[in-house]
Structure 1
Amino acid sequence: MRSSPFGRTGRNVSQIGFGAWAIGAAWGAVDDSESVAALHAALDAGLDFIDTADVYGDGHSERLIARVLKERGGPRPFVATKAGRRLPQQTVDGYSAQNLEDWIDRSLRNLEVEQLDLLQLHCPPTDAYYHPEVFERMERLVERGKVAHYGVSVERVEEALKAIEYPAVASVQIIFNMFRLRPAELFFEQARRRQVAVIARVPLASGLLSGKFGPDTRFQADDHRQFNRKGEAFDVGETFSGVPYEVGLEAVEALRPLVPQGATLAQLALRWILMHEAVTVVIPGARTPQQALANIGAAQLPALPESTMAAAAEVYARLIRPHVHQRW
């Protein structure tokens, strides 16, 4: 497993990480035994970056991670979590010093640690990025030792660019995949210049880029790919990257001929992300050991040829760009 420096933190992390939203909630039925096996398989294979959040299953994801790491013992992977989505309504005032401390204390208990490796503000409202006091509160928590480093998870490129103006922001998590190219236009260059780690989330566009879905695919009622199609529960960009489902299926068919021999469409999609040097780590989800190992296998693929990159860009420009490019 190849690794990359995680910004200015002094840590190196595997280029493929483990996105732990799916083992928490909102992706249909979850089998904890399979989730535990998936985490063990990924860690056995050399993965050493796990991303979770306090709201994934109301802390269930964090607690599962703690269980696995306790079972394993030895050196711990880098575990990133998030806070802020427990607010009933997203407001700047909600990111008070007391709320931040309460959320962090809860994650410390869930993860069974005395210090969080990385705490990310979890897609706060855009206005929060223009309130320095929110970031100053995070700096105080770092100074007190509750958090080793802090960063942000954002919805929009505007938010990412504003966040990295704060010198203590160590990382930015942003949606970046074959259906969401805008971060590469300006943000990536700025992040590299400031030595800010970039975590690419939703790398498979909620599974669309696995190539396993079709017009007749049905999702469970508690799966966000069913209940958040129009942004009913949270930002619609988190579901299929904001791409209308039928358009996404058409784009997937256009991308299939680009898959390298012996690989899968999902592995192509992950390797495509790793072609962008500004990306530190990609965090696909996995609910089984097989999925976890397939994700890791993407990092072993050779570099994609320029012709593949150009063809993928053409599919984006023709089918996807009108639906997403200026929205996020």
Structure 2
Amino acid sequence: MPPSAGVSRQGERVATIPTRKLGTDGPEVSAIGLGAMGMSDLYGPADEQESVATLHAAIDAGVNLIDTGDFYGSGHNEMLIGRALRERRREDVVISVKFGSRRTPDGAFQPVPYDVSPAAVKDRLAYSLRRLGTDYIDIYRPARLNREIPIEETVGALLEMRQAGYIRHIGLSEVGPETLRRAAAVAPISDLQIEYSLVSRGPENAIIPALRELGIGLTAYGVLSRGLLSGHWTPERELAAGDFRANSPRFQGENLEANLRLVGALSRIAERIGATTSQVAIAWVAARGDDIVPLVGARRRDRLTESLAAVALTLDEDVVAEIEAAVPAGAAAGSRYAAPLMATLDSEN
């Protein structure tokens, strides 16, 4: 059975959510945040009514950090969140928005480089405010680095928008230590959003030490490695049209078989301690430091309930050692993105 839980206004079984502060300059947020991308994009069709119900259930459970991108569903995700927030108090939610990636009318992503110029900062922000139905965004961040645009220019424009009251905090995404330091010299940075999980431990080498040196928090996406670590994945699973995992190296052939063997070992530990596989994977990330906030990508209330129960799960040193022996650093087969995308990541180069 999963850890004990409380009850939300909708009657869903959920855990009581403590809070953590995102860095020296950032906001107080729930110890688990909700990533809304899959409600609009990249994981196949989603039920819009269920998505709104899941957003409501998360907020009612005490999840105040909602993460999105203006390019998720080409604006659909922001409109979905805006719709959900009409029935909840704006001040109860910390909205994090990424910008910079570009789409075509058929939904395809345009080739890099990302548009994170000062002009784009202001233009994209204007549209996000309207779609979300709000007059400010809590954390606004470039989705990726564009090496042709100095990070100082991007952060300088974000600082102008913060001073004007349109955003409250400046975040970054998928950048390395040098870029972090250059950005922090221009304006306070609340947090870095980056993929971090049992099978994506690269940030531990240089990025997390730099974050702690600079007083910047970490919001970890991909804590279940796109569902791979959920305990619900099988080799026979058929992916819906538009699900980007069909081209993800970790979900291909022998890579998938090897990775599911790791998940099997993790599942045996989870069963022994009375939790689910996903709860153990989430709890492991949360246990890496009070300055780290895992984002879960639940699209349905039942998956949300399972994920949020991870806050009640305490992993002692012996269990952590057992988990890390079962899924050692660097053991995952395949990179987290295909090679062309990996080459664009400042955090990986």
Residue 291 of structure 2 corresponds to residue 251 of structure 1? no
> 2:339: which partner in 1?
none
1:314 Cα deviation (Å)?
5.3
| 8 Å CA contact retained: 1:45, 1:293 | no
C-alpha distance in 1 between matches for 2:335 and 2:244:
19
> 1:98: which partner in 2?
119
> 1:89: which partner in 2?
111
C-alpha distance in 1 between matches for 2:60 and 2:137:
22
Q: 1:186 to 1:297 in 2, by over 3 A?
A: same
C-alpha distance in 1 between matches for 2:111 and 2:265:
40
The percentage of aligned residue pairs carrying the same residue is 29
> 2:191: which partner in 1?
171
Residue 92 of structure 2 corresponds to residue 76 of structure 1? yes
Q: Within 5 A, what are the aligned runs for 1:159-238?
A: 163-164=183-184, 166-226=186-246, 228-229=247-248
Residue 31 of structure 2 corresponds to residue 11 of structure 1? no
C-alpha distance in 2 between matches for 1:150 and 1:312:
33
Q: 1:122 to 1:262 in 2, by over 3 A?
A: same
1:217 Cα deviation (Å)?
1.3
Structure 1 unaligned segments of length 5 or more: list them: 231-238
Residue 317 of structure 2 corresponds to residue 297 of structure 1? no
Structure 2 unaligned segments of length 5 or more: list them: 1-16, 104-109, 337-341, 343-347
> 1:320: which partner in 2?
332
Q: 1:165 to 1:69 in 2, by over 3 A?
A: same
Q: 1:283 to 1:131 in 2, by over 3 A?
A: closer
| 8 Å CA contact retained: 1:275, 1:304 | no
Read off the aligned partner of 2:89 and give its amino acid letter.
G
Residues 16-42 of structure 1 show CA distances to partners (whole Å, capped at 9, x for unaligned) of 110101111111111011101111111
Q: 1:321 to 1:312 in 2, by over 3 A?
A: farther
Read off the aligned partner of 1:256 and give its amino acid letter.
S
> 1:270: which partner in 2?
282
C-alpha distance in 2 between matches for 1:295 and 1:51:
16
C-alpha distance in 2 between matches for 1:301 and 1:244:
30
Q: 1:163 to 1:208 in 2, by over 3 A?
A: farther
Equivalent pairs, count: 316
Q: What CA RMSD, in Å, does the superposition of the two structures yield over aligned residues? A: 2.8
Read off the aligned partner of 1:144 and give its amino acid letter.
A
1:163 Cα deviation (Å)?
4.7
The alignment's TM-score, normalised by the length of structure 2, stands at 0.82
> 1:53: which partner in 2?
69
